[in-house]
Structure 1
Amino acid sequence: MEAYIGYIPYIFLILLIFFASIFIVKQQTAAIIERFGKFHSIRHSGFKLKIPFVDRIAGKVSLKIQQLDVIVETKTLDDVFVKLKVSVQYVIIKDKVYDAFYKLEYPHEQITSYVFDVVRAEVPKMKLDDVFVKKDDIAIAVKTELQDAMLDYGFDIIKTLVTDIDPDAQVKAAMNRINAADREKTAAQYEGDAARILIVEKAKAEAESKRLQGQGIADQRREIARGLEESVEVLNKVGINSQEASALIVVTQHYDTLQSIGEETNSNLILLPNSPQAGSDMLNNMVASFTASNQIGEAMKKAEKEKKNKENKNSSDE
């Protein structure tokens, strides 16, 4: 038993050496092995061996696509300060792990420096509105510059994106006011057009209403005239001349109107002359007016005839 106990330190030493000689490298990862402080090899994913106390893992680098966000503040051509957020997606080239690990001490700072340099060279050439429109051009310029510079260090630039453009707060407020004013102007124009259309359509509707109303009145008067004409013809057949017939029709309509007013219970009080001589006076006045009208008509016809005779005589003398 005491003999077996004496082997325990050796067993412990063997296990220590065994565990010190093995290591595991994760997927999409590369491990850099140094021997006595000097680069020895690069080990990729899987179960790996190294010489204990001679070889050491100097570091591990990820072969996955990584992203670095860089915020750059610069000034545009129209003297507006703006902050741009540039996202750089990059990956370490598998065959150039040595360069990526040993040539650059701080790759993030190196990439950031190039992004600052390119953005501050491109944006001052543009106005603020152009920065928003040409953000893809800025991203392409950043990628081109980084690709040429970082390739020698083992980094491949997958893509660069300008993900945010943030002007000065006062500038944003002014832009919002301009946009609001433009929208209010557009809204006012639409409202004015709508109001004008309503006015035009209302005027057209009123004009059509007046036209139809006038047409109705004309049709009504035409029918009244036709009815009066038929009434006069009937009276002529029984020996009453046209003037007497017209006077009789007017007097009849006068009394019919008085009767209809009397039958209306909801009408207001209306005072009309209704003496016994009213009908006679109305008839006499109408006959007198018809007589005067006929005399005036005959005088006008006579004057017109004399004028034409005079003109014909002057023409024959010439």
Structure 2
Amino acid sequence: MPYYLIPIAFLSLLILASAFFIVKQQTAAVIERFGRFQSIRQSGLQMKIPLVDRISGRLSLKIQQLDVIIETKTLDDVFVRLKVSVQYKVIKDKVYDAFYKLDYPHDQITSYVFDVVRAEVPKMKLDDVFVRKDDIAIAVKSELNEAMMTYGYDIIKTLVTDIDPDAQVKEAMNRINASEREKIAAQFEGDAARILIVEKAKAEAESKRLQGQGIADQRREIARGLEESVEVLNKVGINSQEASALIVVTQHYDTLQAIGGETNSNLILLPNSPQAGSNMLNDMVASFAASNEIGEAMKQAKENKKLNK
């Protein structure tokens, strides 16, 4: 081959190589011929006419995400910053619209997000913004879908990913929450103390009841024992009065002996002469007799009063 043909052959090889190009997966290439739209090529090895056709641009068909931060005011005049994440993609059948109708999709999406958020949030109080953030996201998606579908973009999902009120408002909200929790804690502590007092009172009442029952049982057994003692003494020829006197004197000295056996007992003055038991018995008998006489007199007075009427 003559030397002068080598450059021509090399140039021809380059021109032939430029006729082939590769389009990556999930990507679309826009081909123009002399500045006019020619075709859209999908993934794989593609071919174009050298020096006539050119790749005007490539569009990704993957899902993309745009984060938009908006500052606005709520219904209760609180400034709040919202972060709205928009997930979108180019519709495969509308690559032409996406490439030729819209130069800056990010700016267009951001404008619509600002418009919707600043229309919806001022209608809500701050607490409602947190509760109804999904409603805000739905409103943004609805507005964006209607607008961006014309340009070949599909809005997959919109999310309100952050709500950040003013620092002073957050501090006030934290104080309110802390006060509310302290109030609830105080209520629980009060309930616990009240339950403790009630249960303690129930325990004391039960203790008193059992103590009274024990005293009653004790007295019942003492009376039964005295009755049996009197019966035993009657069998050996001692009458009831003498038996009662003997029992009183015996218990009197048993009591003195018990007091004397206590090392830490307080000083108690009791009659301790031999006649003490007999005197106490006579005093009891006299008291019983006097009580019976007073009772009979009151009963007779009531009967006389009824007869006079």
Q: Which residue of 2 aligns with 1:267?
A: 263
Could you tell me whether the CA contact under 8 Å between 2:248 and 2:281 is conserved in 1? no
- The alignment partner of 2:274 has SS state of helix
CA distance in 1, matches of 2:106, 2:41: 24
CA distance in 2, matches of 1:272, 1:84: 87
Write the mapping of 1:240-279 to structure 2, written as runs, cut at 5 A. Answer: 240-260=238-258, 264=261, 267-268=263-264, 278-279=272-273
Q: Which residue of 1 aligns with 2:275?
A: 281
For structure 1, which segment, 81-90 or 279-288, has the greater mean C-alpha deviation from structure 2 after superposition? 279-288
Give the deviation of 1:278 after TM superposition: 3.6
Cα deviation, 1:109-139, whole Å, max 9, x if unaligned, reads 0110011011101111111111112112111
- The alignment partner of 1:280 has SS state of coil
CA distance in 1, matches of 2:90, 2:144: 13
Matched, 1:108 2:102: no
Picking from 19, 22, 25, the partner of 1:21 is 19
Q: Which residue of 1 aligns with 2:145?
A: 147
Q: Which residue of 1 aligns with 2:6?
A: 8
Could you tell me whether the CA contact under 8 Å between 2:244 and 2:281 is conserved in 1? no
Write the mapping of 1:1-318 to structure 2, written as runs, cut at 5 A. Answer: 3=1, 5-260=3-258, 264=261, 267-268=263-264, 278-297=272-291, 299-300=293-294, 303-304=297-298, 306-307=300-301, 310-311=304-305, 313-314=307-308
Could you tell me whether the CA contact under 8 Å between 1:243 and 1:290 is conserved in 2? no
- The alignment partner of 1:160 has SS state of strand
Could you tell me whether the CA contact under 8 Å between 2:249 and 2:278 is conserved in 1? no
For structure 1, which segment, 146-155 or 289-298, has the greater mean C-alpha deviation from structure 2 after superposition? 289-298
Cα deviation, 1:279-304, whole Å, max 9, x if unaligned, reads 42303422431452254145325524
Cα gap change, 1:40 to 1:307, in 2 (>3 Å)? same
TM-score (normalised: structure 1): 0.89
- The alignment partner of 1:31 has SS state of strand
Task: Return the letter of the residue paired with 1:110.
Answer: Q
Cα gap change, 1:8 to 1:219, in 2 (>3 Å)? same
Could you tell me whether the CA contact under 8 Å between 1:232 and 1:246 is conserved in 2? yes
Cα deviation, 1:22-55, whole Å, max 9, x if unaligned, reads 1100011111112222222111111011122222
Task: Return the letter of the residue paired with 1:303.
Answer: A
Among all aligned residue pairs of Structure 1 and Structure 2, give the percentage whose two residues are the same amino acid.
73
Could you tell me whether the CA contact under 8 Å between 1:31 and 1:61 is conserved in 2? yes
- The alignment partner of 2:18 has SS state of helix
User: How many residues are matched?
Assistant: 309
Give 4+ residue runs of structure 1 displaced > 6 Å after superposition: 269-274
Cα gap change, 1:273 to 1:190, in 2 (>3 Å)? closer
Give the deviation of 1:68 after TM superposition: 0.9
Could you tell me whether the CA contact under 8 Å between 1:32 and 1:39 is conserved in 2? yes
CA distance in 2, matches of 1:97, 1:34: 14
Task: Return the letter of the residue paired with 2:38.
Answer: H
- The alignment partner of 2:222 has SS state of helix
For structure 1, which segment, 185-194 or 207-216, has the greater mean C-alpha deviation from structure 2 after superposition? 185-194
For structure 1, which segment, 75-84 or 3-12, has the greater mean C-alpha deviation from structure 2 after superposition? 3-12
Could you tell me whether the CA contact under 8 Å between 2:252 and 2:277 is conserved in 1? no
CA distance in 1, matches of 2:200, 2:265: 38
Could you tell me whether the CA contact under 8 Å between 2:76 and 2:126 is conserved in 1? yes
RMSD (CA atoms): 2.4
